[in-house]
Structure 1
Amino acid sequence: MEKIRKTKGFKVVRLALPLFLVVVMMLTGQSRAIAAFWSLSGDIAVHDPSIIKEGNSWYTFSTGPGLQVLKSDNGTSWYRVPQIFLSEPAWWKTAVPNHKQMDVWAPDIQQYNGKVWLYYSISAFGENRSAIGLASASSIGAGQWKDEGIVLQSTSANNYNAIDPNLVIDAAGNPWMAFGSFWSGLKIVKLDKNTMKPTGNISSIAARPNNNGAIEAPSIIYRGGYYYLFASIDSCCKGVNSTYKMVYGRSTSITGPYVDKNGVNMLNGGGTIFDTGNDRWKGPGGQDVYNGNIIARHAYDATDNGNPKLLISDLLWDSSGWPTY
């Protein structure tokens, strides 16, 4: 993954790292100065991670009972801290009667307008009666999360699935939410700055009409005049038999069209392959791009019964403005 990345999962050593980047990393005390792949330790069991740094602490939010949270004091050694929800808000069961109790999926954690916003999904596997919820706090460290209620809902009457939310801030500082899984693909909708809930129409941004609709987990960032859309395609949640992989495309408009390196529209099944995994790490996906230079995702560990674990890498960019490890 990088210039010598034909291991297809991560590279161990990155050659020819630009001198200025080495210097910056040395000055900031980053021990991974010559390695794009972070060497993690401790409790790294996650699925659908979302990563953030607050002060000197790192946090990873992920799928699991009540929303699972990992913390790190250095970005590489991780330990588990209390989950977000200790009991279910009443609206969960009303919105999604078939969901497994306390089972919360695919969170997205971001800071915006002086608060921390935590989007998450309530659903049942293979169904699109789903809901995206929202919680807020003054800071992660302070806790005291406020239930902001339901953000968006889908039912069998909709040809989309309201899960896998991603808060996106456009070039003008306005909030949007990307979301979606299978059915007619990935969507995006503008949010009200005060409520952080949808206002306006839902736009389609990516789909796989000839591949059973197998695309989900959008993560969008703005960089250098482009919006970059990362997504997961194919099949997750099957341990070492997962065929998950990550793809990307870009657009000059947040609502698309997003095209891959070959100019294929992501609404027509386009998407340049970013990561397909390797002999150890199977089915990487559920990615989250943080700060434009870090990418977190889960993959299934073939050396540990296919258990999903956290992977983090430095996200780099080539001379044409495309992402790479």
Structure 2
Amino acid sequence: MFNSKPFEGINFYEIDWNLKGQLWAHDPVISREGDCWYVFHTGRGVQIKTSTDGSNWKAIGSIFESLPEWSKEFVPEKEEDSLWAPDISYYNGIYYLYYSVSTFGKNTSAIGLVTNTTLDPNNPDYKWVDKGHVIHSTENDDYNAIDPNLIVDQQGQPWLNFGSFWSGNKLIKLDPETMKPQAGAELLGISSRTEQPNTIEAPFIIYRNGYYYQFVSFDFCCRGVESTYNIVVGRSKDITGTYVDKEGVSMMQGGGTSIDTGDDRWIGPGHCAVYLSGDSSLLVNHAYDALEEGKPTLQIRPLYWDSEGWPYVK
């Protein structure tokens, strides 16, 4: 089963998500093992935070101590050791964490994969195993291989969706054994905008009640209080699309129903992840805190659904 272990039997709506502690985070994702929550996010070596109650958070280090050796072949100009936009999933008894190696504003990029059998650093079996390169892009490509997300469809087939700017977000079929692209797999477009620059990135796909929902971020991150990031969604009966918004506009033509555009304090919410547990749902993202000079800050909130099956936050 895909992603059943981390959240099985948990009602997200009954948890106090009033976050405290060490909340600096960019591009966060969440998982759970036993009685402990884990957040992974952009930073040196992929940063890790943990919480026993979902409210109080502390940093506990990173996955990598330095850039993985394999990445130097694909992104030779990268010198600082920040790894971006991790994605965590539990699949067939293993935690799969995809991550990005890139430099800002360029599409000389690569996605890597690391695995573990546990998230608990105190477990004697705790060991991140570097599986190396998954997919990459060069300056000659019309896409950017960053911001990965694993989704397993209703037939049990794993896919990787990813992307940032250029020609938009992509989807590719994975080999269930290697969890890397199948030989000869077609690279499919799943969302794009009609203007340039193509300000769309960070797709995240879930399945719920007959639809695949694709969440993406529009506009610009990483500008503190000047950030314009915002979260939108579309849905499709088929994982490969076409994804449309509430008005029926294709996400390949700039469609997207708004989820969150921020407010006076929480500027530019984006790079979201969505998790399901029973009838409850969770939205995880970062936003720039205007009261903290635009510090990127972890947000975890209940995600609700209207009578027509469209998600929203209160």
Give the structure-2-normalised TM-score: 0.91
Alignment of 1:291 with 2:291, yes or no, is no
Q: Superposed, which structure 2 residues align to 1:202-213 within 5 Å? A: 202-213=187-198
Give the distance between the partners of 1:163 and 1:82, measured in 2 at CA: 22
Alignment pair present for 1:183 and 2:157: no
Give the CA deviation at 1:288: 0.6
- Which residue, 300, 307, 312 being the options, matches 1:319? 307
- Check the 8 A contact 1:244/1:285 in 2, yes or no: yes
Matches within 5 A, 1:199-278: 199=182, 200-278=185-263
Q: Which residue of 1 aligns with 2:7?
A: none
1:169 and 2:148 are equivalent in the alignment: no
Q: CA deviation at 1:212?
A: 1.4
Q: CA separation in 1, counterparts of 2:234 and 2:13?
A: 32
Tell me the amino acid that sits aligned with residue 214 of structure 2. Answer: L
Give the stretch that moved more between structures: 96-105 or 130-139.
96-105
What is the CA distance between 1:29 and its match in structure 2? 9.7
* Superposed displacement of residue 101, structure 1: 2.5
- Compute the displacement of 1:113 (Å): 0.7
Q: CA deviation at 1:322?
A: 0.5
Give the deviation of 1:92 after TM superposition: 1.3
Structure 2 distance, partners of 1:215, 1:29, is 29
Query: Structure 1 residues 77 and 99, CA, compared in 2 at 3 Å: closer, same or farther?
Result: same
Deviations 1:5-54 (A, max 9, x none): xxxxxxxxxxxxxxxxxxx96xx99354xxxxx21001011000011111
C-alpha separation in 1, matches of 2:78 and 2:249 = 36
What is residue 59 of structure 1 aligned with on the other side?
A: 38
Secondary structure of the residue aligned to 2:62 is: coil
* Contact 1:184/1:209 (8 A) holds in 2: no
Consecutive aligned runs of 4 or more in structure 1 exceeding 4 Å deviation: none
Q: CA deviation at 1:100?
A: 3.2
Which amino acid in 2 is paired with 1:167? L
Aligned partner (choices 147, 163, 184) of residue 130 of structure 2: 147
What is the CA distance between 1:283 and its match in structure 2? 0.2
Give unpaired runs (5+ residues) of structure 1: 1-23, 33-37
The CA distance in 2 between the partners of 1:213 and 1:31, in whole Å, is 37
Aligned-pair distance for 1:99?
A: 1.7
Task: Confirm or deny: 8 A CA contact 2:171 2:187 kept in the other structure.
Answer: yes
Aligned residue among 136, 147, 154 for 2:115 = 136
Following superposition, the deviation at residue 172 of structure 1 comes to 1.5
Question: C-alpha displacement at 1:169, in angstroms?
Answer: 1.2
Q: Give, in whole Å, the separation in 1 of the partners of 2:15 and 2:70.
A: 45
Contact 1:260/1:270 (<8 A) preserved = yes
Does the CA contact (< 8 Å) of 2:15 and 2:54 recur in 1? Answer: no
Task: Summarize the Cα distance change of 1:322–1:211 in structure 2 as closer, same or farther, 3 Å threshold.
Answer: farther
Measure, in 2, the Cα distance between the counterparts of 1:52 and 1:31: 15
Three-state SS of the structure 2 residue aligned to 1:132 is: strand
Give the CA deviation at 1:287.
0.4
Q: CA deviation at 1:291?
A: 2.2
Aligned residues: 295
Offset, 1:102: 1.2
Cα distance per residue 1:189-244 (max 9 Å; x no partner): 11111100011111100001214110001110000110000000100000000000
- Following superposition, the deviation at residue 93 of structure 1 comes to 1.6
- The one-letter code sitting in structure 2 at the alignment partner of 1:315 is L
Judged with a 3 Å threshold, the aligned counterparts in structure 2 of structure 1 residues 244 and 29 are, in CA distance, closer, same or farther, namely closer
- Once the two structures are superposed, residues 159-210 of structure 1 have per-residue CA deviations (whole angstroms, 9 ceiling, x without a partner) of 0000000001111222110000000000001111110001111110000121
Aligned runs of 1:34-113 on 2, under 5 Å?
38-113=17-92
d(CA) in 2 for partners of 1:172, 1:151: 22
Supply the distance in 1 between the matched residues of 2:148 and 2:222 (Cα, whole angstroms): 18
Opposite residue 144 of structure 2, the aligned amino acid is: N
From 282, 294, 306, the equivalent of 1:306 is 294
Structure 2 SS opposite 1:82: strand
Provide the aligned C-alpha RMSD in A. 1.4
- Following the alignment from structure 1 to structure 2, what is the Cα–Cα distance between the partners of residues 203 and 88? 29
Contact 2:112 2:134 in 1 (8 A): yes
Report what 2:14 is aligned to. 30
Q: Select between 121-130 and 52-61 the one with higher mean Cα deviation.
A: 52-61
- Distance in 2 of aligned mates of 1:106 and 1:31: 25
- Indicate whether 1:195 and 2:183 are aligned: no
More displaced, 159-168 or 138-147? Answer: 138-147
Distance in 2 between the 1:59 and 1:70 partners? 6
| Inter-partner Cα distance in structure 2 for 1:39 and 1:260 | 30
